[in-house]
Structure 1
Amino acid sequence: METSTITFSSSSSPPPSPSPSPPRPQAAPADLDAVSLGRLSANLERLLDPAFFNCTDADVVLAAGGDDAVVGVHRCILAARSNFFLDHFSSLAANPAGKKPRLELADLVPGGRHIGRDAIVPVLGYLYTGLLKPPPQGAAVCVDDRCSHQACRPAIDFVVESTYAASGFKIPELVSLFQRRLSDFVTIALVEDIVPIVLVASTCQLPDLLSQCIQRVAESSVDSRYLEKELPAETFAKVKELRRHLSPHESDEFILDPEHAKRVRNIHKALDCDDVDLVGLLLTESRITLDDALAIHYAAAYCEPKVLAGMLKLESASDSANVNLKNESGCTPLHLACMRREPQIILSLIEKGASVQEKTRDGRDALTICKRLTREKDCNNKLEKCKERSKAYLCIDILEQEIKRNSFVLERQLSDEVSVAMPLLADNFHMRLLNLENRVAFARIFFPSEAKLVMRIAQADSTEEFAGLTSANFSKLKEVNLNETPTMQSKRLRERLDALTKTVELGRKYFPHCSDVLDKFLNEESTDLFFLESGTPEDQHTKRMRFSELKDDVNKAFNKDKAAVAAIVSSSTSASSSPRGDGKVRHGSKKARLSR
């Protein structure tokens, strides 16, 4: 920090002069002006900080709502710096004492409902200080780490909102600056991200920028239905006409098949009215399917979540609707739902089978789309207690969880295949399969008819069988077939294991007492019991005696299961033959069934 030196002189004899020293460089007047203006700007900028001493006398109200929807301003400063605010404040009627005038931004300037706090504060700060500050941290960058942030949607939205504010407040130098930035975005941004630039150029009457946007959109392959829905009618007509000039040999779908286009429009109009039943009727009467009309795409982009859920439940949807179908732009319904950032629609599509791995033509998957539309500021804000999370945050969370689930399922499938293929882990699998084979083989000996029925229900008779009853057959499971790859063998053994497991489960369900006898036998007895002719005469006699006892246990268990089934049948029969005192109820139920 520099200090000034003050010297005093006298009229008497002057003191001896010291040796001469080089003169100190003095600041030029221009530098002093810059320092003074910089200090003044920094001080005035503090007036827009809500944490600073609040002496505002007017409020600018944003359309977004919430705690950040009000920006306090000073009428004297804005009126002195802007003719727009001077005229506006001068025309205001006198307010009651202590009540600040409120300026509703949505009604004050064209496009005011699109302006957010992060965009309007720098524009107002320019009127206060004469300097344009950069956007707040995280307000103009997305959450995708792989994005360069040169033309991602948050960067475009910030400049678009600033352009609305500068144009509405009639600050031509800022409008010219923002227009140049938007022009740079048009050349490098994605076409769907140019739509907000088209809207601001049309609203703020920027013809050069609008012409540049129309040229870029017309040269793209973006679906005409999307453009018709998003762009102003006059702008869409120009894009459509320019496309015809650029591609004279490609006929428009409306000219190629006007009847088909009419039916598609009727379906879309029914969706606009949230009438799912009418959509089903139109699909039934016409030869158009949901895929032909891109109805799932349309509902995912523009309809309420309940409408899309109803669409997916239509009978025609189960046969014809492909939730991974791509439109002319290479987007699936899930991609469009991510562009809209609607978590309920994203969840409905994923539950119906939409793939999060599908990519657009430019290589973006669903999660990338969501991340590049979401501001870093929104995701970095700490969640307050009892405060609802933003839709953008929920969309990213849903997609990340689905990706983790798919990864887990894939790893599990791979680990199962590896466990069968690896020699060190295969023995456990093979022993389990052999035990099931033995159990089913014993069941077929004890209860041949019942076991055959259960195996047919479980489709175990359609898979390749391995002989059980002896551990010697364990080696047969490991035999190598030169015409069978390890993957084929794994699949074959897995199918057999699943079929036998289902057989045992069905046996436990329908024959519980018999299953208990099998469990006891497998835990206590040896498989050699069924080879009655082997061993010494004494061993054969012992085996026959034990086998007779086992047969008695089996018969008792079977009689118990049979008695239980008979009791169930008897109770159901008595219920059906009950007195006719409740005949009216049954008659009414029958009538209701017939009416259905």
Structure 2
Amino acid sequence: METSTISFSSPSSSPQSPPPPLATPAELEAVRLRRLSDNLERLLDPAFLNCADAEIALAAGKGGAAVGVHRCILSARSAFFLDHFASLPPPAAVGERPRLELDGLVPGGRHIGRDALMPVLGYLYTGRLKSPPQEATVCMDDACGHAACRPAIDFVVESMYAASGFQISELISLFQRHLSDFVGTALDEDVVPIVHVSSTCELQDLLNQCIQRIAVSTLDSGYLEKELPDDIYCKIKEIRQSAFQDESENAIVDPEHEKRVRNILKALDSDDVDLVGLLLQESAVTLDDAFALHYAAAYCEPKVFAELLKLNSANVNLKNNSGYTPLHIACMRREPAIILSLVERGASVLERTLDGRDALTICKRLTREKDCNRKLETCEETSKPYLCIHILEQELKRKSIIFDLISIEESIATPLLVDNFHMRLINLENRVAFARIFFPSEAKLVMRIAQADSTEEFAGITNFSKLKEVDLNETPTMQNRRLRERLDALTKTVELGRRYFPHCSDVLDNFLNEESTDLIYLETGTPEDQRVKRMRFSELKEDVRKAFTKDKAAVAAIASSASSSSSVRYEGRGRQSNRKSKQSR
């Protein structure tokens, strides 16, 4: 028989530990309520959708999906839902579930997304407010503290629309405190959505706080007039006029100039670029005077914006009174087609706002992690925010390459680095030579754009000794100028190749880093060497073919997204933007 390993201690040998205290009735009640709350919360899980007897549908701009709810629970917990469900007509068929459209159900309902709606409904079910999902309240900028970035603000704004619409007073007070904190710490333009929700939900104290904050901001008056309800804009305008009365009295205002500027902007509202051109011809006002590119980047369709750029009379890097370039405005709108048009026209992605943000930072701080990191469904298009970030990252990568080349070019002035400069020329020329071999038509086109097709050195692979040959009729200054011009042509050729054929460029990078340029001379060496070189040459051609296929697919995807985006006006803006609704967004 086995001996038991359990032993008992006598009171004399060691003191017996006291038994755990019994739970109080209040604690037992709390445990029961928590268990009940957890069970009720499960009813909002999509797995229990078949158990629901009603649906709340999101607005089309928020995906249009439906959330299954239970009328008995919502009616018992909310007088709003009790009255609403009681007023619904009986279902037309047995088992048909009533469907409530959130857009028409509550003021501001079209702004409420699923991530904000579910915690508010969960509070009605459980009596507890669940923490928001991090991916829905955190932006893509790793340098951001995420305390007052746009995704965090938007989440609370949407939650306030829901709580106010459903008349949940305790949540209204909670969200109002959060929004009040945001007003003191958020960027100027991020206070605008708080203005709308405070106006719609009649939160007067919060609205007054927002008005005071915006009145002392650097936000442009034209932007505020376009974005805000008339009564709120007039209050802000009055505060600004009284605060800067002395300056306004001394300012010289030309009514005729202001009228012409407004005419240009009205023509853009009508998508009439031809009329814009006529107005420019008839007066001394320019597109820069009217900040027309800024306006079009914010409110016009991508196709209209592209037509405006063709007038070639505007500075794409001009900053408005708030310190924003047209690219900054396009990034706030997150319209990839407009961003791409500006970048192609030479808009700098390195320009910064008055508070130090560049274009990529603006895009990232407006974009939720969820919008970029989620897995796409079959046939689902890539999101606009992701495309914007991708375009800007590619342009920044291209800029870094140019800076590296400039630093190398500047090193020619140092005698000890002359050989390094020559070697860089050799590497660039070899790269272009291989590009001409593997895709001659594309390489010829890129070289023509870079104005490199007329340089005599592009005949083939260059060797170091040829570069160091001395022409007795060429002075050192002439030689330096020739080498610099050649470097510029090579650099632009490679730069364009990277922009339009990134996968092919990666293949050539790997090849030039790993292989010998002797591969080009297939007929030299022993028969075995020639066989090995031909085999490697064929493998390289196949790698380039696959990469070229990927490049074409990527270009087609971006073009398709840009084309589809041009058919839909940015939400809340466009041709009807002059008719402003009194109802806030």
Question: TM-score w.r.t. structure 1 length?
Answer: 0.69
Q: How does 1:106-255 map to 2 (within 5 A)?
A: 106-251=103-248
- Are 1:51 and 2:47 matched, yes or no? yes
Q: Indicate yes or no: 2:325 matched with 1:332.
A: yes
The answer (yes or no) to whether the contact 1:142–1:373 under 8 Å persists in 2 is yes
Distance in 1 of aligned mates of 2:110 and 2:250: 36
Distance 1:397-1:370 versus aligned 2 partners, 3 A rule: same
In structure 1, C-alpha distance between the alignment counterparts of 2:426 and 2:112, rounded to whole Å: 69
Matched, 1:366 2:359: yes
Matched residue, 2:400: 407
2:260 corresponds in structure 1 to 263
Aligned to 1:280: 277
Equivalent residue number for residue 549 of structure 2: none
Q: In 2, Cα distance between the equivalents of 1:402 and 1:75? A: 53
Over aligned residues, Cα RMSD in angstroms? 3.2
> In terms of mean alpha carbon deviation, does 387-396 or 30-39 score higher?
30-39
Identity fraction in percent = 64
User: Contact (CA 8 Å) 2:408, 2:421: kept in 1 or not?
Assistant: no
The normalised TM-score by structure 2 is 0.70
What whole-Å deviation, never above 9, does each CA across 1:416-457 have from its counterpart, x for those lacking one? 55478524346779999xxxxxxxxxxxxxxxxxxxxxxxxx
Give the whole-Å Cα distance in 1 for the aligned partners of 2:326 and 2:143: 24
**Are 1:98 and 2:95 an aligned pair?**
yes
1:162 match: secondary structure = helix
Counterparts of 1:391-540 in structure 2, within 5 Å, are 391-418=384-411, 422-425=417-420, 474=470, 491-494=480-483
Could you give the per-residue CA deviations for residues 379-430 of structure 1, whole angstroms, max 9, x where no partner exists? Answer: 1101223210111011001100111112123323433554785243467799
- Which deviations, in whole Å up to 9, do the C-alpha atoms of 1:209-264 show, x marking residues without a partner? 00000000001111111111111110000000000111111228998222211111
| Preserved CA contact (<8 Å) 1:254 1:261 | no
**Quick check: 1:323 aligned with 2:316?**
yes
Q: What secondary structure, in the 3-state scheme, does the structure 2 residue paired with 1:474 have? A: coil
Matches within 5 A, 1:340-379: 340-379=333-372
User: Residue 282 of structure 1 aligns to a residue in which SS?
Assistant: helix
Amino acid at match of 2:139: C
Query: 1:28 Cα shift?
Result: 1.2
Most deviating of 261-270 and 326-335: 261-270
Match of 1:306 among 303, 306, 319: 303
Q: Distance in 1 between matches of 2:468 and 2:269?
A: 70
Cα contact 2:52–2:70 (8 A) shared by 1: yes
2:248 alignment partner, SS class: coil
Alignment partners' CA distance in 2, 1:187 and 1:64: 32
Cα separation, 2, equivalents of 1:212 and 1:66: 29
Q: Does structure 2 conserve the Cα–Cα contact (< 8 Å) formed by 1:334 and 1:366?
A: yes
Is residue 27 of structure 1 aligned with residue 23 of structure 2? yes
* Secondary structure in 2 matching 1:211: helix
Q: CA 1:20–1:275 in structure 2 vs 1: closer, same or farther (change >3 Å)?
A: closer
**Amino acid paired to 2:369:** E
Aligned with residue 58 of structure 2, among 49, 59, 62: 62
C-alpha distance in structure 2 between counterparts of 1:430 and 1:98, whole Å = 76
CA drift of 1:494 comes to: 2.1
Once the 2 structures are TM-superposed, how far is the Cα of residue 100 of structure 1 from its aligned partner? 0.8
SS at match of 2:51: coil
Corresponding letter in the other structure for 1:202: S
Code of the residue aligned with 2:42 in structure 1: it is R
- Counterpart CA distance in 2 for 1:388 and 1:499 is 38
- TM-aligned CA distance change 1:80 to 1:285, over 3 Å: same
Distance 1:82 1:403, change over 3 A: same
Q: 2:379 is paired with a residue of what secondary structure?
A: coil
1:79 counterpart = 2:72: no
Distance 2:95 2:467 in 1: 96
Asked if the contact 1:323/1:352 (under 8 Å) is kept, the reply is yes
1:477: how far off? 9.5
Tell whether the 8 Å contact from 1:115 to 1:165 is kept in structure 2 after alignment: yes
Cα deviation, 1:125-181, whole Å, max 9, x if unaligned, reads: 000000001111311110100000010000000000000000000011110110010
Q: CA deviation at 1:26?
A: 1.1
The one-letter amino acid of 2:88's match is L
Unaligned runs of 5+ in 2: 1-14, 428-453, 457-465, 491-585
- Kept in 1: contact 2:61–2:110 (CA 8 A): no
Counterpart Cα distance in 2 of 1:59 and 1:44: 17
Q: What SS does structure 2 have at the residue aligned with 1:119?
A: helix
C-alpha distance in structure 2 between counterparts of 1:495 and 1:250, whole Å: 51
Aligned to 2:33: 37
Deviations 1:338-388 (A, max 9, x none): 000000000011111100000000000000000000001111101223210
Counterpart-to-counterpart distance in 2, 1:245 and 1:105: 41
For residues 175 and 425 of structure 2, the distance between their equivalents in structure 1, rounded to whole angstroms, comes to 71
Alpha carbons of 1:167 and 1:420: their partners in 2 closer, same or farther (altered >3 Å)? same
Distance in structure 2 (CA, Å) of the matches to 1:430 and 1:351 = 26
Alignment partners' CA distance in 1, 2:206 and 2:292: 33
State the 1:500 CA deviation.
Answer: 13
Q: Matched residues in 1 for 2:250 and 2:69: separation?
A: 53
Secondary structure of 2:137 counterpart: coil
Aligned equivalent of 1:10? none
Larger relative contact order, structure 1 or 2 (CA cutoff 8 Å, min sep 6): 2
| Matched residue count | 438
* 1:62 and 1:69 in contact (8 A); partners too: yes
Contact 1:335 1:369 in 2 (8 A): yes
Of stretches 287-296 and 243-252 in structure 1, the one that deviates more from structure 2 is: 243-252
Q: Determine if contact 1:78/1:128 at 8 Å carries over to the other structure.
A: yes
Over residues 43-102 of structure 1, what are the superposed CA-to-partner deviations in whole Å (9 max), with x where a residue is unaligned?
Answer: 111111103463001010111357662111000000000000000000000112121101
Deviation of the 1:32 alpha carbon: 1.2
Gaps (5+ residues) in structure 1? Answer: 1-18, 433-457, 461-469, 481-487, 502-596
**For 2:46, what is the secondary structure of its paired residue?**
coil
The superposition leaves residues 518-573 of structure 1 with CA deviations (integer Å, 9 ceiling, x where unpaired) of xxxxxxxxxxxxxxxxxxxxxxxxxxxxxxxxxxxxxxxxxxxxxxxxxxxxxxxx
User: CA contact under 8 A between 1:334 and 1:346: conserved in structure 2?
Assistant: yes
Show the counterpart of 1:4: none
Contact 1:430–1:477 (CA under 8 A) maintained in structure 2: no
Cα drift, residue 37 of structure 1:
1.1
Quick check: 1:221–1:329 contact (8 Å CA) kept in 2? yes
Q: Secondary structure at the match of 1:249?
A: helix
Alpha-carbon distance, 1:282 to partner? 1.0
Relative to 1, partners in 2 of residues 1:139 and 1:475: Cα closer, same or farther, differing over 3 Å? same
